[in-house]
Structure 1
Amino acid sequence: MAKQDADRTTLDLFADERRPGRPRTNPLPRQAQLRLNKRNQLRRDRERGLKRIELKVDERLFSKLNVLADERRLSRAELIQTLLLQQLEQLESK
């Protein structure tokens, strides 16, 4: 039986064949890349003086924040920071 180039059902015939695709550019496995990227992101945030706050909100509020952030062309984090600063300024002025 002859090898048909279009036949992909017998994978052992094509085990040594190079498939086209994007070449591997990073020697690390994906999980290691993610850990390294997260570590670098945390380092950049720390250098910029940023602190992390986690906040759980209901789905309706989350949707409203997303819409408002899109309207103002801000990220959700920037919008929340702006709203918090405005509220704090109002409280301090009373």
Structure 2
Amino acid sequence: MNSPMVAGEMLRRAQVIKGVAEAISPVGGPGDPHPGQYKKSWYARVERKAVGRSRQKRPVGVVGNSAYYARWVEWGTDKVHAHHVLLRAARIGGR
């Protein structure tokens, strides 16, 4: 479970999800002060995290967005509807 092959597969899967997330990310209109920032802020990497009952560290694929407002795009606010970009990307590309 700690082999380079497993870590490579976790990274591959994370990159697939990242690619889908980039493709479906909303981009602001003409009034947006940062158009395309959210779309360009996706990252994919492998981290070693404690998993399961044994809490042994295993390679885990991580996909995220470094834009400071990413959580509001994902979950929405009282003024902006939720886009659920990461959720939809994981459902589409997480196979």
TM-score, length of structure 1 as denominator length: 0.29
Looking at both structures, which has the greater relative contact order when contacts are Cα pairs under 8 Å and sequence separation is at least 6?
A: 2
Task: Kindly indicate which of the two structures has a greater share of residues assigned to helix.
Answer: 1
Greater gyration radius? 1
Task: Kindly indicate which of the two structures has a greater share of residues assigned to strand.
Answer: 2
